[in-house]
Amino acid sequence: MKLIIAIIQPDRLEAVKQELYKQEVFLITVNEVLGHGRQMGVAEVYRGTKEMGNLLRKIRLEIAVNEDFVEKTITAIVKGAQTGESGDGKIFVIDLVECVRIRTEERGHIAIG
């Protein structure tokens, strides 16, 4: 079992979702987060005081999958989120120790799907 965490651009969310659906990945959690990458933000101005916009709005996806879905999911996210510009984001894959479905108390592989 793996936990896939992806940080993507907000406007790519819809495309990523569509790609994930095509791969039959439906169980995702989405967060709005602020992030700092190599890409610079737009300078903001408030009454003449300049403020470098260094934290940018990003979307953070969390997807728990079984091993056979890992590559499919990664491909789908890349396909949906890639524009070739800096700031497209990152995908992290982490080992998942346990998963429990609260309704039935099922554990492990069955609980994810």
Partner 1 sequence: MKKLAVLVVALLFVCLAVAVFAQEGQEIAAKTSLSPNVRPAVTIDTGDTAWVLFATALVMLMTPGLAFFYGGMVGRKNVLGVLMQCFIILCIISIQWVLFGYSLSFGPARGFWGGLQWAGLAGVGTTPYPDYAPTIPHQLFMAFQMMFAIITPALIIGAFAERMKFAAFVIFTILWATFVYDPVCRWVWGAGGWLKEMGVIDFAGGIVVHINAGIAALMTAIFIGKRNGGSKAILPHNLPFTILGTGLLWFGWFGFNAGSSLGANGLAVNAFVVTNTAGAAAGLTWACLDRIFNEKPTVLGTVTGAVGGLAAITPAAGYVGPFSAIIIGIVVSLLCYTAVSVLKPRLGYDDALDVFGVHCIGGIWGTMAAGLFASKAINPDGPNGLFFGNPKQFYVQLLAAAVTLAYSFIASFIIYKAIDLCIGVRVGEKEEIIGLDLTQHHEKAYTVLE
Partner 2 sequence: MKRFIAVLMLLSFIAVPAVMYAQAQTQPADARQQQAVQASDARQAPSKSDSGDTAWMIVATALVMLMTPGLAFFYGGMVGRKNVLGILMQCFTILCLISVQWVLYGYSLSFAPGKGFWGGLEWIGLAGVGAAPYPDYAPTISHQLFMVFQMMFAVITPALIVGAFAERMKFSAFVLFTLLWATFVYDPVCHWVWGVGGWLKDLGALDFAGGTVIHINAGIAALMTAIFIGKRKGVSNHTILPHNLPFTILGTALLWFGWFGFNAGSSLGANDVAVNAFIVTNTAAAAAGLSWAVIDWIFNKKPTMLGMATGAVGGLVAITPAAGFVSPVSAIIIGLCVSVFCYFAVSFIKPRLGYDDALDVFGVHCIGGIWGAVATGLFASKAVNPAGADGLFFGNPKQLLVQIIAVAVTVVYSFVASFIIYKVIDIVIKVRVQEKDEVIGLDLTQHHEKAYTVLE
Q: Which does 103 bind (CB under 5 to 8 A by kind): partner 2, partner 1, none?
A: none
x/- string (CB under 8 A) for partner 1, residues 48-87?
A: -----x-x-x------------------------------
Contact 7/59 with Cβ under 8 angstroms? Answer: yes
Residue selected from 50, 67, 102, 104 as contacting partner 2 according to rule CB under 8 A:
50
Instruction: Beginning with the edge strand found earlier in the chain, give each strand of the sheet holding 2-8 in spatial order.
Output: 29-35, 56-65, 2-8, 89-95
Q: How far apart are CA 59 and CA 81, in angstroms?
A: 11
Contact 58/16 with Cβ under 8 angstroms? Answer: no
Q: Would you count residue 45 as binding partner 1 (CB under 8 A)?
A: yes
Q: Taking the CA of residue 88 as centre, how many other CA atoms within 13 Å lie in the half-sphere pointing to its CB?
A: 13
Q: Would you count residue 32 as binding partner 2 (CB under 8 A)?
A: no
Q: Would you count residue 51 as binding partner 2 (CB under 8 A)?
A: yes
Residue selected from 27, 43, 94, 110 as contacting partner 1 according to rule CB under 8 A:
43
Q: Which does 14 bind (CB under 5 to 8 A by kind): partner 2, partner 1, none?
A: partner 1
